[in-house]
């Protein structure tokens, strides 16, 4: 089964939502769905993905729906990881060391945007560092 067929329901939902700048592409056995939308739409798509692949074990989808427009420093963000804590890193990349964690559904504060993929955040416990924006959704 082609990946676009496997995830047709998810692609259709992203199209209908709408997701702005929606891009769907397949590369090296992975389906990439990229775009921008509201935090609510982002969570809806993640929930749908969780029903299609409950253990997130297939490793054949990269859902990268960002809700970056209009978010400024000091904004409150909800951690929207699938099941685990969010890693907080010493630098903007997975090759940097983990310096802390934020719990799933925890609300953190945006300190600054390094780029569209990595933001410096701070937890209520004072842990600070870089986190991947894919797992951060503005509190509405």
Distance in Å from the first CA to the final CA of the chain: 38
Confidence of residue 42 (pLDDT cuts 50, 70, 90): confident
* 2 vs 130, residue with greater confidence: 130
Whether pLDDT at 114 is above 70 = yes
Whether pLDDT at 38 is above 80 = no
Q: How far apart are CA 46 and CA 42, in angstroms?
A: 6
Task: Could you please state the CATH topology (level 3) that the domain comprising 76-138 is classified under.
Answer: SH3 type barrels. (2.30.30)
Q: Are 43 and 98 in contact (CB under 8 A)?
A: no
pLDDT given for residue 55 in this prediction: 78
How does pLDDT run across 86-109, given as a tens digit for each residue? 999 999 989 999 999 999 999 999
Task: Could you please state the CATH topology (level 3) that the domain comprising 3-66 is classified under.
Answer: Alpha-Beta Plaits (3.30.70)
Are both 3-66 and 76-138 of the same fold?
no
Q: Are 130 and 91 in contact (CB under 8 A)?
A: yes
* 69 vs 101, residue with greater confidence: 101
What residue ranges do the domains of the chain occupy? Answer: 3-66, 76-138
With 0-12 / 13-18 / 19 or more C-beta atoms within 10 angstroms meaning exposed / middle / buried, residue 102 is: buried
* 33 vs 82, residue with greater confidence: 33
């Amino acid at each position: 089964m082609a990946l676009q067929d496997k995830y047709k329901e998810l692609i259709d939902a992203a199209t209908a939502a709408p997701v702005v700048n929606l891009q769907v592409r397949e590369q090296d056995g992975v389906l990439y769905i990229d775009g921008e939308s509201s935090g609510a739409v982002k969570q809806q798509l993640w929930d749908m993905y969780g029903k299609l692949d409950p253990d997130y074990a297939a490793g054949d989808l990269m859902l990268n729906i960002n809700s970056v427009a209009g978010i400024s420093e000091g904004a409150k963000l909800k951690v929207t990881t699938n099941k685990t804590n969010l890693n907080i890193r010493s630098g903007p990349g997975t090759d940097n060391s983990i310096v802390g964690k934020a719990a799933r559904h925890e609300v953190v504060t945006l300190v600054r945007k390094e780029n569209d993929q990595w933001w410096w955040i701070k937890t209520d416990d004072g842990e600070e560092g870089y986190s991947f924006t894919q797992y951060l959704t503005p509190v509405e």
